[in-house]
Amino acid sequence: MNRRWLYKPIPAKEEILALSQSINVNSYLSAILLQREVNTFDKAKHFFRPSLEDLHDPFLMKDMDRAVSRLKSAVDNDEKILVYGDYDVDGTTAVSLVYSYLKSFYPNCDFYIPDRYAEGYGVSEAGIIWAEENNFSLIIALDLGIKASDMVVLANHKGIDFIICDHHLPDKKIPQAVAVLDPKQDDCNYPFTELSGCGIGFKLLQAFARKHADEQALAEYLDLVAVSIASDIVPITGENRILAHHGLKQLNENPRPGLKALKEIAATKNELDISGVVFTLGPRINAAGRVAHARGAVELLISKTEDEANAFAEKINIKNDLRREFDINITEEALAMIESSESLQKAKSTVLFKNSWHKGVIGIVAARCVERYYRPTVILTESNDKITGSARSVNGFDLYQAIEQCGDLLEKFGGHKYAAGLTLDRLNLPAFQQRFEEVVAATITDEMLTPVVEIDLPLPFDAITPKFISILKQMAPFGPDNQRPVFESRNVFVMNSLATFKDKHLRFLAGQKNNELFFNAVGFDQIEHYERLLSGDYFTMAYTIEESSFNGNTSVQLRIKDIKF
């Protein structure tokens, strides 16, 4: 697949020099920091030393005072509190966080996760009825609820109040809850709008603890917040960077029993970073709600003992193996459908439907199809006599906006710029397929349909020194909006050891013309370059710098993003 190399602007020389002198780093590192808007000594200090003291005052969030007041009233009056959350990683970590914290001092609470298949996404009528039957008078909704106006009205009729903690884009109509915590509301002046759902839950607890308990005690829950930040693909900037930094530290040094059990069952040998969470812990937590009921994920995450956690982790790992099998089979079917249709191959979008596809993995399948065909993709299946689906986008294209333009054909939809969910009547499927393709074709550019390799700056091999690598590591955690820097080196050649593995990856020892340093290079899914590399020609390489550990030995490794001859 051809990839478009996009070069970030190189900051002005005088800016680079000034920052280099101010914080005592070389010009390459200063340029990377300036590209991330770290342009003063003070900003560099906060960037390299994220502090929990730099978190914003939670009471800056609209309705926070009302939320804390209602929660305190419920506790004082011994009301039954229901912690209600989504079935994905963000939702289950949020529920585990808020429920565990409340349960530590208040016994009269429980949690509820809707069934993905019987109830679908969001606050369900079945959930409200269950709350009424079990005498709950306050529901704290996490990672959902911003579009639940009708359900909040129903709950109010039944004498049940709502505190909504959500981070999704709201409609014009905001639910009439006691409090709606969502910094994406137009009239909310909270300084940071990109918290995860679990992050919003954390801010509620931070505010409650600041008024009525010990705020320091919240630190023990940061491993859950870090897992939500990584898995929900939110920007690793601002408060998310602070929370992720401290949460990852806890996750690696002293995780709660449930996360420790998951790490062990996933056989993670190295320290977990954002990417490690995304590929090892996230899928396993998600698997509970994808092939069974997500209550199992919460039971794992709130486990008090290692024995209890290990038992839950074992069950979840079995579900993850089943999820992986569904994922592989359905992906193969979906790709075959595209490859057998000339019109689908020529389209600017992909919309596929099959009523037997497993609802729990269609989001993963959509992402796999984007990897192969690189265009906005919607994968649909049948559930409860409705068509339901997941959508994924490509760099730069606002998927949510495109789906919104098909809103009259949908029963409900929600999500973000790059990922969304939707439900529609079967009769509207042909019209939706046509409209979505028309909207995408009219608004997407050819550039958006070409995968991007975003390059921070050119780098000679001899700049890759131990000090350079040490400072580079301190720029972590890496993730959206603070990606691991990608470098470009020219006149690179294969010194020796060119080899392939697993029929799709390659590795070799890389050298650079007029440069004495050489490094191991590995290219995952880069087999397309193998034949040309055999020629011995010089090439330009885009790559990230990583440390690789094997048998107790650590070495520098260049991970290839792309090669151009």
**Could you report the per-residue pLDDT of 528-553, keeping only the tens digit for each?**
999 999 999 999 999 999 988 777 78
Give me the pLDDT at residue 28, please. Answer: 98
Q: Is 518's pLDDT higher than 80?
A: yes
Residue with tokens 């009439």: 176
Bridge partner residues of 181 (DSSP): 165
DSSP code per residue over 57-99: PGGGSTTHHHHHHHHHHHHHTT--EEEEE-SSHHHHHHHHHHH
CA atoms of 487 and 469, how far apart (whole Å): 13
Same domain, 122 and 231: yes
Q: Pull the structure tokens for residue 88.
A: 């994905």
Instruction: Estimate to the nearest angstrom the gap between the alpha carbon of 390 and the chain centroid.
Output: 15
Q: Is 6's pLDDT higher than 90?
A: yes
Contact 220/275 with Cβ under 8 angstroms? no
Average pLDDT score over the chain:
95
Same domain, 306 and 242: yes
Q: What percent of the chain has pLDDT over 70?
A: 100
Q: What percent of the chain has pLDDT over 90?
A: 89
Q: Pull the structure tokens for residue 407.
A: 């809103």
Give me the pLDDT at residue 539, please. Answer: 98
Residue with tokens 């999704």: 168
Give me the pLDDT at residue 300, please. Answer: 96
Distance between start and end Cα atoms, the chain: 15
Same domain, 147 and 296: yes
| Average pLDDT of span 444-473 | 95
Give me the pLDDT at residue 268, please. Answer: 84
Same domain, 106 and 208: yes
178 within a domain of the structure (yes/no): yes
DSSP code per residue over 487-549: EEEEEEEEEEEEEEETTTEEEEEEEETT---EEEEEETT-GGGHHHHTTT--EEEEEEEEEEE
Q: Is 205's pLDDT higher than 90?
A: yes
Query: Side by side, which strands form the sheet with 386-392?
Result: 350-353, 377-383, 386-392, 419-424, 412-415
Q: What are phi and psi of 175, to 5 degrees?
A: -55, 145
| Average pLDDT of span 39-68 | 97
Same domain, 99 and 158: yes
Contact 478/243 with Cβ under 8 angstroms? no
223 within a domain of the structure (yes/no): yes
Boundary (domain end) residue, out of 392, 417, 443: 443
Q: Which domain holds residue 468?
A: 453-564
Single-letter residue type at 482: N
Better-scored residue on pLDDT, 416 or 25: 25
523 within a domain of the structure (yes/no): yes
DSSP reduced 3-state for 162: strand
| Average pLDDT of span 272-280 | 94
User: What domain count does the chain have?
Assistant: 3
329 within a domain of the structure (yes/no): no
Per-residue pLDDT tens digits for 70-118: 999 999 999 999 999 999 999 999 999 999 999 999 999 999 999 988 8
299 within a domain of the structure (yes/no): yes
Per-residue pLDDT tens digits for 366-386: 999 999 999 999 999 998 889
Same domain, 527 and 436: no
172 within a domain of the structure (yes/no): yes
49 within a domain of the structure (yes/no): no
167 within a domain of the structure (yes/no): yes
Same domain, 138 and 179: yes
Same domain, 464 and 412: no
Q: Is 447's pLDDT higher than 80?
A: yes
Same domain, 311 and 380: no
Q: Is 431's pLDDT higher than 80?
A: yes
Give me the pLDDT at residue 505, please. Answer: 96
User: Residue 291's pLDDT band (boundaries 50, 70, 90)?
Assistant: confident
As a dihedral over the C-alpha atoms of residue 460, residue 462, residue 464, residue 465, rounded to 10 degrees, the angle is -160
Spatial CA neighbour of 358 closest among 336, 385, 325, 335: 325
User: Residue 472's pLDDT band (boundaries 50, 70, 90)?
Assistant: very high
Give me the pLDDT at residue 100, please. Answer: 98
Give me the pLDDT at residue 293, please. Answer: 86
Single-letter residue type at 40: T
What would you report as the CA-atom Rg of the chain, rounded to the nearest whole angstrom? Answer: 25
The answer, yes or no, to whether the previous bond of 477 is cis (omega within 30 of 0) is yes
CA atoms of 190 and 184, how far apart (whole Å): 9
Give me the pLDDT at residue 399, please. Answer: 96
User: Residue 288's pLDDT band (boundaries 50, 70, 90)?
Assistant: confident
Boundary (domain end) residue, out of 262, 283, 317: 317
Same domain, 230 and 294: yes
Other Cβ atoms less than 10 A from the Cβ of 99: the count is 25
Boundary (domain end) residue, out of 414, 443, 472: 443
CATH number, domain of 508, equals 2.40.50.460
Q: What are phi and psi of 413, to 5 degrees?
A: -160, 160
CATH number, domain of 78, equals 3.90.1640.30
Give me the pLDDT at residue 464, please. Answer: 96
Same domain, 240 and 216: yes
pTM recorded for the entire structure = 0.91
Per-residue pLDDT tens digits for 313-364: 999 999 999 988 999 999 999 999 999 999 999 999 999 999 999 988 999 9
DSSP reduced 3-state for 479: strand
Same domain, 426 and 390: yes
